């Protein structure tokens, strides 16, 4: 039985499997919490490949990906980074939020993301041909992209691309039921709350409510947590710190899960 439950939304599973067979690198675009990482983990399990996940950030260096020399009581030795491990042994190297990494770091991907499929390690003088089961996958959230943070065209055009969004209502409901254990009625109400939040246009919310947060709320509810409070802590408080926004979101939640008399304001 799969450990990583995933419900397809379109042709993403077929496309990913075909890309894996043809050694094509994949770029996945989509908002936070829409299922990008879960999808990669599910595909890794289905394809029988290890997934080496790297969460990118401003300080991520090429050495963090490739590896570095370390010292112990026996002297100096080389330790492979996650990218090198995947290249040597086969597996999916997944770079999450790739646009957060420095551009000089992502340049090391170029020789792996085209016909060459090799990784050169300057510090050891080694050039590694990628294992037949090696696959490079990167992702980012287009909503955070700006002039300073964006993939270089020379990098982006080496990938085939998939666009993800929050699941359609019926699919999202099934995901919530499966992942949290709530019943049909509760799952539907959580989906309806999310739908209304995502349609808000006059409220300053940087990111719409994710499927992940809905699952968190469902998990609290299955442990007999008050549904109103579960939504406040998992959805409302996670989306904003602004009092006016919090009031709007709280009012929306209370339409589906009324505040119980024993819940303090």
Spatial separation of the C-alpha atoms in residues 118 and 130, rounded to whole Å: 6
Which pLDDT belongs to residue 153? Answer: 82
How big is the CA angle at 242 (ends 241 and 247), to the nearest 5 degrees?
110
pLDDT tens over the chain, length 265 residues? 456 688 888 899 999 999 999 999 999 999 888 889 999 999 999 999 999 999 999 899 999 999 999 998 889 999 999 999 999 999 999 999 998 888 778 889 999 999 999 999 998 999 999 999 999 999 998 876 554 566 778 888 999 999 999 999 999 999 999 999 999 999 999 999 999 999 887 777 777 899 999 999 999 999 999 999 999 999 999 998 899 999 999 999 999 999 875 554 4
Run of H or E including 259? none
Structural contact between residues 221 and 230, judged by C-beta atoms closer than 8 angstroms:
yes
User: What are the φ and ψ backbone dihedral angles of 224, each rounded to 5 degrees?
Assistant: 65, 25
Phi, psi (degrees; rounded to nearest 5) at 253:
-60, -40
168, 39 in Cβ contact below 8 A?
no
Note the pLDDT of residue 265: 46
Domain boundaries along the sequence of the chain:
12-163, 169-256
Q: Between the CA atoms of 42, 48, 52 and 53, what dihedral angle is there, to the nearest 10 degrees?
A: 0
Q: What is the CATH number of domain 12-163?
A: 3.40.50.300
Following CA atoms 141, 144, 147, 148 in sequence, which dihedral angle do they give, to the nearest 10 degrees?
-100
C-alpha to C-alpha distance for 141 and 120, rounded to whole angstroms: 29
Residue spans of alpha helices (H) in 48-183: 62-66, 82-89, 103-106, 153-156, 169-180
């Amino acid at each position: 039985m799969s450990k990583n439950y995933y419900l397809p939304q379109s042709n993403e599973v077929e496309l990913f499997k075909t890309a894996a067979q043809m050694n094509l690198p994949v770029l996945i675009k989509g908002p936070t919490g829409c299922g990008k990482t879960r999808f990669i983990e599910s595909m890794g399990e289905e394809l029988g490949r290890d997934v080496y996940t790297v969460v990118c950030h401003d300080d991520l260096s090429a050495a963090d990906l490739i590896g570095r020399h370390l010292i112990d009581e026996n002297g100096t030795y080389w330790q492979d980074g996650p990218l090198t491990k995947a290249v040597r042994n086969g597996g999916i190297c997944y770079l999450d939020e790739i646009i957060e990494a420095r551009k000089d770091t992502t340049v090391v991907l170029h020789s792996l993301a085209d016909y060459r499929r090799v990784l050169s390690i300057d510090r050891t003088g080694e050039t590694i041909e990628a294992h037949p089961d090696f696959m490079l996958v990167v992702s980012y959230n287009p909503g955070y992209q700006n002039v300073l943070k964006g993939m270089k065209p020379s990098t982006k055009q080496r990938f085939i691309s998939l666009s993800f969004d929050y699941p359609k209502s019926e699919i999202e409901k099934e995901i919530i039921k499966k992942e949290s254990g709530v019943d049909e009625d509760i799952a539907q109400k959580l989906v309806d709350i999310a739908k209304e939040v995502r349609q808000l246009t006059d409220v300053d919310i940087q990111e719409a409510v994710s499927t992940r947060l809905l699952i968190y709320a469902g998990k609290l509810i299955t442990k007999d947590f008050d549904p109103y409070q579960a939504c406040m802590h998992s959805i409302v408080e996670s989306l904003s710190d602004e009092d006016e926004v919090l009031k709007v979101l709280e009012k929306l939640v209370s339409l589906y899960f009324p505040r119980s008399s024993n819940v303090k304001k």
